[in-house]
Amino acid sequence: MLSATGIAGRSALVTGAASGIGRATVLALARDGVRVVAVDRQPVDEVCAAVAARGGTAVGAVADVADDASVAAAVDRAVTGFGGLDIAVHCAGVVSETAIADLERPEWGRQLDVNLTGSYVVSRTVLPHLVTAGAGRLVLFSSIAARVGGVNSGAAYVASKGGVGALGKWLARRYGGDGVTVNMIAPGPVDSPMTHGRDYAPEGYPVPRMGTPDELAAAVVFLVSDAAAWITGHTLDVNGGIFMN
């Protein structure tokens, strides 16, 4: 019989940990007994303190996910401090609504750097450690925008998140034999700092509201749990029924 999650005592690295889905993921994993390295370009003292107040373990690391050296330092903190790395969740991302006619190269580059290159850098850095763990779990974040071709999102964002889904499938096929699962989550609109000030009109959704960071974190916990050990290469749509596949 499988336990609720089976992940207590494992170690994890979570990017984008200062706010939104990343912060909620740190708290959810720690609540299930996972030791977490919380990574962000912004200070993560608050989320680490929140974990400690609940009796969990979380340490912070400042890193730019598109920079190999800073990501390597964050991963090393997990491996050195916790004796290995079992789980990696790449939540960090940036959003843009710019149409292609108005899209300049610097903005295109920034979207791809954080969303797609960041996924590559984090994956490439953590995978040797996930292989060593023997049952490693990697979760990347795509988007409903990549599933439906945008709607409220710009060209660079859609392209970058579409690339995340393709990269994740390649990684899942390559590393499944090493005991590592790689899955993606494609959120719909989530009430978080990234989406504040944007008009989503949730009253038209099948479930007529925006999602919450905690609901996305719950999806992460499932995908890294023992219950999901035979799921890999999958994009889990968490969107209140806006996109049904």
pTM attached to this predicted model:
0.94
Range of the domain at 149: 11-238
Q: Is 200 a catalytic residue?
A: no
| CATH, residue 123 | 3.40.50.720
Domain-located, residue 193: yes
Number of separate domains in the chain: 1
The dihedral over CA atoms of 154, 121, 216, 243, expressed in degrees to the nearest 10, equals: 40
Domain-located, residue 3: no
Domain-located, residue 188: yes
Mean pLDDT of 173-177: 99
Domain-located, residue 73: yes
82, 11 contact by CB (below 8 A): yes
Q: Which tokens hold the place of 226?
A: 């023992």
Q: Which residue has the higher pLDDT, 217 or 98?
A: 217
Q: How far is CA 121 from the centre of its chain?
A: 13
Lowest model confidence (mean pLDDT) among 15-29, 144-158, 178-192, 212-226 = 144-158
The catalytic position among 157, 175, 200, 205 is: 157
pLDDT in tens, 96-125: 888 889 999 999 999 999 999 999 999 999
Residue 194 has pLDDT above 80, yes or no: no
Residue identified by tokens 């749990």 is 225
Cα 243 from Cα 245, distance rounded (Å): 7
- Confidence at residue 195, expressed as pLDDT on a 0 to 100 scale: 63
Domain-located, residue 4: no
Domain-located, residue 128: yes
pLDDT in tens, 138-174: 999 999 998 988 667 899 999 999 999 999 999 999 9
Domain-located, residue 244: no
Confidence label for 245 from pLDDT (cuts 50, 70 and 90): confident
150, 158 contact by CB (below 8 A): yes
